[in-house]
């Protein structure tokens, strides 16, 4: 089955075509970074309008790249949530309408399930069960995964997500949008021993996260420090080290508590070089395995939606003619396939 995937949950228009026999046939992505840069963050109305302009041309380009036509498709998958309601509606309306016109089934995909399954697009595929760390601008969650749709939430952020804290701290340092990757690049120039930031909620039992206080600690440090480039780099290094150490500590706890040895890490922050190094070191130490998607599939993309949708279409799931989107959608409400 060949499935068209449409991702429009936030500020990136992602389109892909996935073949359940041959793998990924085409992958197109348009980023709205330049559009939102002047505002220092995503403007929902502008994001929605840009998705309207870009989605259909990208679908046409993906079909051309795959060397197929709409008649060769067996289904359409689109992100139905969580995300920005206007942006979600663009992809959902286009996806459902195309499926109706082409007389093929459509399926609504959970954005975070797409991220969770993204490592399965690689050659080295994780076997069930495993622990998943979903870490992005909007989510930081630890999930036990026993199969597709079989999810047990073990812990999550009680305030800012890790990616959100990266972006906010980057803004405090005067870095341009998108701040997270820029802060990580600046941290490469920082000294590890100048500042010591707290590792929040690691001094108590549990698998929940909290990054709001860490962001406040960074703000206070920046306010009391000099304004030199080296000082900013040192603060960025201390902040990144604190976030990464916190994530690693919580992953270790989750694996210890469940007795599992496999860890999947996905979402935008999973592209962070320092996080990948630390988790690989940890996995080697315990004789475990850690799986990441390739960098281009860490951020929002159509490939993960096409893959996740294909699994549910193969299991017989499909949507009615009603178009439904869910800005908030607990991962644990998904059905098993």
Annotated binding site: 111, 115, 134-138, 167, 180, 272, 300
Task: Compute the Cα dihedral for 207, 213, 217, 219 and give only its sign.
Answer: positive
Rounded CA-CA distance 51/19 in Å is 24
Of 66, 67, 84, 77, give the one whose Cα is nearest residue 9: 84
φ, ψ of residue 58 in degrees (nearest 5): -70, -35
Going by the annotation, the residues of the binding site for substrate are 134-138, 167, 180, 272
* Closest-CA residue to 15 (of 62, 48, 53): 62
Torsion angle defined by CA atoms of residues 101, 149, 296 and 327, in that order, rounded to the nearest 10 degrees = 70
CA–CA dist 201, 247 (Å, integer): 11
CA 196 to chain CA mean position, Å: 28
Task: Output phi, psi for 161, to 5 deg.
Answer: -75, 160
DSSP labels, 195-254:
-----TT-SSSSS-B--HHHHHHHHHHHHHS---HHHHHHHHHHHHHHHHHHHHHHHHHH
**Phi/psi zone of residue 280: left (φ > 0), alpha (ψ -120 to 50 degrees), beta?**
alpha
> What is the DSSP pairing of strand 23-31 with strand 130-135?
unpaired
Q: Which residues are annotated as a binding site for Fe cation?
A: 111, 115, 300
**Contact predicate 278/49, CB 8 Å:** no
Q: Phi then psi for 62, rounded to 5 degrees?
A: -65, -40
């Amino acid at each position: 089955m060949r499935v068209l995937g449409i991702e429009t949950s936030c500020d990136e228009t992602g389109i892909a075509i996935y073949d359940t026999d041959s793998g990924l046939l085409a992958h197109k992505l348009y980023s709205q970074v330049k559009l939102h840069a002047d505002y220092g963050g995503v403007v929902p109305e502008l994001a929605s309008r840009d998705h309207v302009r870009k989605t259909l041309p990208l679908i046409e380009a993906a079909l051309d790249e795959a060397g197929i036509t709409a008649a060769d498709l067996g289904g359409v998958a689109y992100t139905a949530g969580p995300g920005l309601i206007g942006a979600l509606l663009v992809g959902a309306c286009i996806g459902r309408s195309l499926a109706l016109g082409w007389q093929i089934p459509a399926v609504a995909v959970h954005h975070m399930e797409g991220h969770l399954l993204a490592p399965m697009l690689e050659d080295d595929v994780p076997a069930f069960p495993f622990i998943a760390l979903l870490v992005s601008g909007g989510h930081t969650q630890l999930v036990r995964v026993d199969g597709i749709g079989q999810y047990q939430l073990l812990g999550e952020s009680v305030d800012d997500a890790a990616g959100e804290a990266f972006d906010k701290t980057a803004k405090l340092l005067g870095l341009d949008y998108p701040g997270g990757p820029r802060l990580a690049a600046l941290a490469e120039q920082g000294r590890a021993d100048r500042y010591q930031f707290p590792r929040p909620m690691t001094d108590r039992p549990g698998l929940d996260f909290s990054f709001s206080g860490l962001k406040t600690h960074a703000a206070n440090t920046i306010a009391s420090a000099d304004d030199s480039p080296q000082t900013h780099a040192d603060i960025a290094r201390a902040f990144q080290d604190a976030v990464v150490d916190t994530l690693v500590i919580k992953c270790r706890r989750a694996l210890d508590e469940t007795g599992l040895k496999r860890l999947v890490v996905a979402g935008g922050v999973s592209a962070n070089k320092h996080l990948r190094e630390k988790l690989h070191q940890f996995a080697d130490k315990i004789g475990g395995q850690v799986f990441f998607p390739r960098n281009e599939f860490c951020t929002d993309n159509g490939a993960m939606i096409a893959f996740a949708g294909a699994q549910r279409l193969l299991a017989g799931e499909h949507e009615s003619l009603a178009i439904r989107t869910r800005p908030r959608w607990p991962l644990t409400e998904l059905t098993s396939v």
